[in-house]
A = this chain, B = another copy of it.
Amino acid sequence: MDKLFVNVREKGPICIGLDTSVDYIPESINKKYDRVEDRLFEFNRGIIESTKEIAAAFKVQIAYYEAEGIQGLLAYKRTLDYIRKEKIPLIADVKRGDISKTAQMYAKAHFSGDFEADMITVNMYMGSDTLEPYEKYLKSGKGLFVLLKTSNPGSGDIQNLKTDSGKYVYQKMIDLLEKKGQNLMGSSGYSAIGAVVGCTHVEDGIAIRKRMKNTFFLIPGYGAQGGTASDVSKYLIHGNGGVVNSSRGILLAHKNDKWKDLEFDEAAREAAVEMRTKIMEELKKREED
């Protein structure tokens, strides 16, 4: 998490999401490569190369690769290897959640071996004991982002149920996470256990930020899902303490009228720069207020 903090300070809070669907890949790649594995990987390589100066982190969404079976997962592995070699913080968006020995297996799967990432997303519905198997990895520099308040329309179904103490379910989860995080504080002032907090439910987001000063946020929901630069600026502390993810807005920038004459990777770069500029402007406004 410390590495991510430093990167955000230097480059701004942009996380590029590699949710690469086969139907996003332009003809320029498809005509050169026959195998789905190569198509997915070469597209990702183009995006990584064109945006790596702007991205504080890359987030790779494993579902898109699982959907293509073994070939997809070979592309997933190559993508992770490539990002790790570039030494850019790598978040595997896997949203795993399981218990005891099975959770140990997920920790092994995503913090070592073929699919090693720096940080992963996890789902804690099964209870706080599900995080225990990750702890030994967290002590040696890995990080978690626990799903807290997500960006989808139905996120309130469970997360915003009000408990008899007057707190929402997600607020009760904060209590559990804060306790776990205390022993895993980094030099940046943020713990190794971060939280996923979508930027589409701004009131919840502001309340969470207020409660969790030492928790780094992974912030989905920007762009396609409706979150704005002004919204996400409220989730950051002096411009840090979180990364704002954009996937489709970057990966499909070449289908945007503004950039339709550019190659997919050049368009992605333009979109990433624009997103960063917008967010930095909002942050500046907030600091001035």
A255 at the interface (CB under 8 A from B): no
Q: Across the interface, do A169 and B158 meet the contact criterion of CB distance under 8 Å?
A: yes
**Interface size range on A against B:** 35 or more
Q: List residues of A whose CB falls within 8 A of some B CB.
A: 19, 21, 61, 63-64, 66-70, 73-74, 77, 95-103, 105-106, 108-110, 113-115, 123-130, 147, 150-159, 161-164, 166, 169, 172-173, 176
A109 CB contact (under 8 Å) in B63, B110, B151: B63
| Stoichiometry (number of copies) | 2
Closest B residue to A157 by CB, please name it.
B127
CB of A268 to closest CB in B, whole Å: 18
Those 5 A-B pairs whose CB atoms lie nearest each other, nearest first = A69-B114, A127-B154, A129-B154, A125-B125, A66-B109
Q: Across the interface, do B154 and A130 meet the contact criterion of CB distance under 8 Å?
A: yes
Question: Roughly how many angstroms separate A136 CA and B124 CA in the complex, as a whole number?
Answer: 27
Q: A67-B105, A69-B109, A70-B74 are known contacts. Are A123 and B99 too (CB-CB below 8 A)?
A: no
Question: Can you show 24 pairs from A to B with CB atoms below 8 A apart?
Answer: A19-B102, A63-B109, A64-B105, A66-B115, A67-B113, A68-B113, A69-B113, A70-B70, A73-B73, A95-B97, A125-B125, A125-B159, A126-B150, A126-B154, A126-B158, A127-B154, A127-B158, A128-B154, A128-B157, A130-B154, A158-B169, A163-B164, A163-B169, A169-B169
Q: Across the interface, do A130 and B152 meet the contact criterion of CB distance under 8 Å?
A: yes
Q: Which residues of B contact A105 (CB under 8 A)?
A: 21, 61, 63-64, 66-67
